[in-house]
Amino acid sequence: MDLIRRIHAVPGLERIRLGSLEPRIITEEFAGALAAMPGFCPHFHLSLQSGCDETLKRMNRHYTTEDYLRRCEILRNSFADPAITTDVIAGFPGETDQEFQKTREFLEKVHFYEMHVFKYSRRAGTRAQ
């Protein structure tokens, strides 16, 4: 947070926007501090990847859908109309039709400003290959 405050204090800087945030960074203290900065742009790209807890666990994500939704609520309580965007992966290895449907339902529940949806693709060095 100190770095963001120092950047916000730079003369002539009109706007600060953060990208690709880990959902767990969003706390009431963090959001409140950002909301107090007039130059902060309330756009938050929070990585989701899946709206199904079982799939998130297989992805080795360290949050649940409940945790994620709570972070979105913090942002909506701290900012008048934040733009919350995300990334979603469809077809992760082992994802069932039921898990895919859970993700669809979760996406509707969150009401994202925008989503980037990708089909799963293998990447070296990841758990799912």
Backbone angles phi, psi at 25, to 5 degrees: -75, -20
The answer to whether residues 13 and 41 touch, using CB atoms and an 8 Å cutoff, is no
**What is the pTM (predicted TM-score) of this model?**
0.89
Per-residue pLDDT in tens (0 to 9) along the chain, 129 residues? 899 999 999 999 989 998 889 999 999 999 999 999 999 999 999 999 999 999 999 999 999 999 999 999 999 999 999 999 999 999 999 999 999 999 999 999 999 999 999 999 876 776 665
The answer to whether residues 63 and 103 touch, using CB atoms and an 8 Å cutoff, is no
- Whether 2 is in a domain gets the answer no
- Whether 106 is in a domain gets the answer yes
What CATH number does the domain containing 35 carry? Answer: 3.80.30.20
Q: Which residues contact 112 (CB under 8 A, 6 or more apart)?
A: 84, 85, 86
The letter for the amino acid at 99 is E
Range of the domain at 46: 15-119
pLDDT tens digits, 64-98: 999 999 999 999 999 999 999 999 999 999 999 99
Q: How many domains does the chain have?
A: 1
The answer to whether residues 50 and 23 touch, using CB atoms and an 8 Å cutoff, is no
